[in-house]
Amino acid sequence: TLYDTYGFPVELTEEIAEEQGLTVDLDGFEVEMERQRERARVAHETIDLTVQGSLDQLGEQIDSTAFLGYTQPQSMAKVEALLVDGKSVESAGAGSKVQVILDQTPFYAESGGQIGDRGYLSGDALLVRIEDVQKESDFFVHFGTVERGNLTVGTTVTAQIDRACRRRVQANHSATHLLQAALKKIVDPSISQAGSLVAFDRLRFDFNCPRALTSEELEQIEAQINTWISEAHTADVEVMPLTKAKAKGATAMFGEKYGDEVRVIDFPGVSMELCGGTHVNNTAEIGVFKIISSAGVASGIRRIEAVAGPAVLDYLNVRDKVVKDLCDRFKAQPEELPERISNLQQELKATNKQLDALKQQLALAKSDQLLAQAKSVGEFKVLVAKMEGVEPEGLKSVAQQLQQKLGESAVVLGSVPSPDKVSLVAAFSKGVNQKGLQAGKFIGAIAKICGGGGGGRPNLAQAGGKDGSKLGQALDRALQQLLEGLQ
């Protein structure tokens, strides 16, 4: 939620966790992010499933869509079918969200990791903005909005892709092929694709690799790809039998099902892959390539995200703005920022340590006031109390001090340092241990009331929880069990 909903950087989460003695499961983070992306994808596919019912009925009435987009960015096309809210209609007016099926189209439908084209359908007084294209069976379904006029089944329209978006996605797709080739060359020849996303603004490539890539490897990969780009390798695109493609050494995606005839994208001497996507005619058209992140997404699976072509300028402009803002705030030059930020981090850590020390001293100073709350049970003293806003270490010190002052005793203290953080400490004397009460087991069970857990030694243990509203209930339970256990 911190990252996906509020945009809070995971790096800062790591630093905060480290200061609290915790660690961040980065692999788990990436897995959860992928699950979120999958949920978004499934939500989109649910819309398609609504459309599918109508398509099944139309399937026997209309022919499959002919794709012209490899060579034609624009074409005339007949509206074969029109859907609104998943239901077949004869026409749709301005403002309608529509799904359009044409007899032929220059629009690429999402496939093989490459997203669908954007663009327009136009005619006399008609304009339909196409936002996505999905392939359902043999039909290309154009998802869009009628911006003006009326769209009617049987009419002929001009179908035109957004050429700027197509150039961006082509650059990113061809760059993805170069990325796989560079990984095989620099890291390991056995690396294979495990998934990909080719969008207008970025590319994502998942691959099998048992370890993280080093900074040096990432730099070498980026440099190699930019070298291939500058060498201006011309693409050789050919449709051939699958057996011939494999014999020529074309790379195929493991587990992918291919027909007898396949399309091969060959940048001679660099990369040869089976691919149905759209690509640049020459690597020089990519312009430039930049890796923006590398991380693990699952056991044995790594992910590289990158940008290519015009998207690199967008990426650099955003980073440049961030650097300029930081320079203004710190009154420093860009090259001075790392040292200034490092110094600030050290100062912040030192200040936090001083603050924690002061809080601990204050807690210790107040601890004597709690002695009067201790209850007597035979030869033992029992003290269960809440301390306001005390951190775990301070709470532990106070509990130890109180237990020593009370002698044969059991001390349980609780605190809520922040709304979603509960701290609990138990300090038991040897006599209490001999009565069968162990601090570790005891406080771990009590912490469950607050949605947490913990444990430790028989004489001293700490625990934590997430629900501060349950601390009072937890302390009441602790007092009850101690009074009963020490009778």
Per-10-residue mean pLDDT, the chain, length 487: 43 53 63 58 50 63 91 96 91 95 97 94 96 92 96 96 95 97 96 93 94 96 98 96 92 80 95 95 96 93 94 89 90 89 91 80 75 91 88 87 93 88 94 93 94 92 92 94 90
Residue 151 near residue 82, CB atoms below 8 Å = yes
pLDDT of residue 94: 94
Kindly report, as residue ranges, where domains of CATH 3.30.980.10 are found in the chain: 167-318
Kindly report, as residue ranges, where domains of CATH 3.10.310.40 are found in the chain: 358-485
Residue 304 near residue 318, CB atoms below 8 Å = no
pLDDT of residue 33: 63
pTM equals 0.66
Tell me the C-alpha distance between 374 and 411, whole Å.
9
Q: Which CATH number fits domain 358-485: 3.10.310.40, 3.40.50.300, 3.40.1180.10, 3.40.50.150?
A: 3.10.310.40
Tell me the C-alpha distance between 161 and 69, whole Å.
9
Q: Which residues contact 379 (CB under 8 A, 6 or more apart)?
A: 408, 431
Tell me the C-alpha distance between 389 and 368, whole Å.
17
Third-level CATH fold of 1-161: Elongation Factor Tu (Ef-tu); domain 3 (2.40.30)
Kindly report, as residue ranges, where domains of CATH 2.40.30.130 are found in the chain: 1-161
Question: Which H, E and C letters describe the chain, residue by residue?
Answer: CCCCCCCCCHHHHHHHHHHCCCCCCHHHHHHHHHHHHHHHHHHHHHHHHHHHHHHHHHCCCCCCCEECCCCCCEEEEEEEEEEECCEECCEECCCCEEEEEECEECCCCEECCECCCCEEEEECCEEEEEEEEEEECCEEEEEEEEEECCEECCCEEEEEECHHHHHHHHHHHHHHHHHHHHHHHHCCCCCCEEEEEECCCCEEEEEECCCCCCHHHHHHHHHHHHHHHHCCCECEEEEEEHHHHHHCCCECCCCCCCCCEEEEEEECCCEEEECCCCCCCEHHHHCCEEEEEEEEEECCEEEEEEEECHHHHHHHHHHHHHHHHHHHHHCCCHHHHHHHHHHHHHHHHHHHHHHHHHHHHHHHHHHHHHHHHCEEECCEEEEEEECCCCCHHHHHHHHHHHHHHHCCEEEEEEEEEECCEEEEEEEECHHHHHCCCCHHHHHHHHHHHHCCEEEECCCEEEEEECCHHHHHHHHHHHHHHHHHHCC
Q: Which CATH number fits domain 167-318: 3.40.50.720, 3.30.980.10, 3.30.930.10, 1.10.1030.10?
A: 3.30.980.10
pLDDT of residue 55: 64
pLDDT of residue 143: 96
Tell me the C-alpha distance between 28 and 10, whole Å.
12
pLDDT of residue 307: 95
pLDDT of residue 8: 43
Give the burial string for 363-386 (b: 16+ CB within 10 Å, else e). Answer: beeebeebeeebeebeebbbbbbe
